[in-house]
């Protein structure tokens, strides 16, 4: 296996009409990490991911495997091996699960392949179907899937896309406990070969699966380290609970 690239962010800043959403973030995610980004609403978590994936304009520096990402179009960043999901699962509802995955696998296809019909299922797609457990539902339109299944499908799409870095925005929001556990296991499995960054509000989920955590507050990195480090940080406690000195933030349902 080749050396995994890591993510290196320096002085990242995003402003909308006078409001600064991300205000000078420095962040390093080592190759093979399973990093959780937490923080209260409006901390700039999603905007950070938006900036990394080219969706919003930002200043500063974002390097992945030594390559500068800022300023490049979204689809180039995607081809550089960075994939993401959204808070609300966005799969192609009218296409089948298989078609969703096939499209995700095909960014590099030439015109000749594109203009022909799909004759067989590409090998990575078969593998991904197994990994995300949707092999049975391959011919169903994605629109009829349950919420959790859609989230898995999204993750599956990132797998076949063969990204090196996965940026997941609240992947377990709205899932049952069983589904959460399954998702967590899936993320662990994925993180063995790739780098994963997860935005999450669910603290129990974070505690169970995070390898490292960064806490964002008001557009800045407040604290960073292992789960235990972060929980022990008084600044984090203050942000989450006001002045109370509770030992750890309470688990909190995502909206």
- Contact residues toward other proteins (CB under 8 A) are 16-17, 21, 47, 53, 55-57, 73-75, 78-79, 83-84, 86, 88, 90-96, 99-100, 102-104, 106-109, 113-119, 139, 141, 143, 157, 161
Between 112 and 234, whose beta carbon lies closer to other proteins? 112
Between 18 and 234, whose beta carbon lies closer to other proteins? 18
Between 21 and 38, whose beta carbon lies closer to other proteins? 21
DSSP labels, 106-168: TTT--HHHHTS---S--HHHHHHHHHHT-GGGTTSBGGGS-HHHHHHHHHHHHHHTT-SEEEE
Between 27 and 98, whose beta carbon lies closer to other proteins? 98
CB neighbours of residue 194 within 10 Å: 20
Q: Least Å distance between CB 246 and other proteins?
A: 30
Q: Least Å distance between CB 140 and other proteins?
A: 10
CB neighbours of residue 234 within 10 Å: 9
Q: Least Å distance between CB 36 and other proteins?
A: 21
Between 109 and 235, whose beta carbon lies closer to other proteins? 109
Q: Least Å distance between CB 121 and other proteins?
A: 12
Beta-sheet pairing, 34-38 with 195-199: parallel
Q: Least Å distance between CB 18 and other proteins?
A: 10
- Closest by Cα among 222, 248, 200 to 85: 200
- Burial (CB < 10 A; 0-12, 13-18, 19+), residue 39, is buried
Q: What is the C-alpha R_g of the chain?
A: 18
Collapsing DSSP states into helix, strand and coil, what is residue 247? Answer: coil
């Amino acid at each position: 296996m080749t050396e995994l690239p890591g993510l290196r962010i320096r002085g990242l800043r995003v402003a909308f009409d006078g409001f600064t959403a991300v205000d000078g973030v420095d962040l390093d995610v080592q190759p093979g990490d399973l990093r959780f980004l937490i923080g209260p609403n409006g901390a700039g978590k999603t905007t950070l991911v938006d900036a990394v994936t080219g969706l919003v304009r930002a200043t500063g520096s974002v390097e992945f495997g030594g390559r500068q990402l800022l300023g490049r179009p979204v689809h180039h960043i995607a081809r550089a091996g960075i994939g993401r999901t959204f808070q609300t699962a966005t799969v192609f509802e009218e296409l089948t699960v298989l078609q969703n995955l096939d499209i995700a696998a095909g960014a590099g296809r030439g015109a000749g392949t594109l203009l022909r019909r799909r004759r067989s299922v590409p090998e990575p797609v078969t593998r991904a179907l197994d990994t995300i457990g949707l092999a049975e539902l391959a011919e169903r339109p994605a629109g009829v899937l349950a919420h959790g299944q859609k989230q898995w499908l999204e993750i599956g799409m990132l797998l076949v896309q063969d990204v090196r870095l996965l940026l997941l925005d609240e992947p377990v929001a709205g899932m049952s406990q069983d589904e959460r556990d399954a998702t967590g296991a899936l993320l662990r499995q994925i993180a063995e070969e790739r780098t994963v960054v997860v935005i999450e509000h669910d603290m129990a989920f974070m505690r169970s699966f995070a390898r490292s955590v960064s806490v964002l507050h008001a557009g800045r990195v407040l604290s960073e380290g292992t789960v235990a480090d972060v929980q022990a940080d008084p600044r984090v406690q203050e942000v989450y609970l006001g002045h109370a000195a509770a030992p750890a933030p309470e688990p909190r349902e995502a909206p």
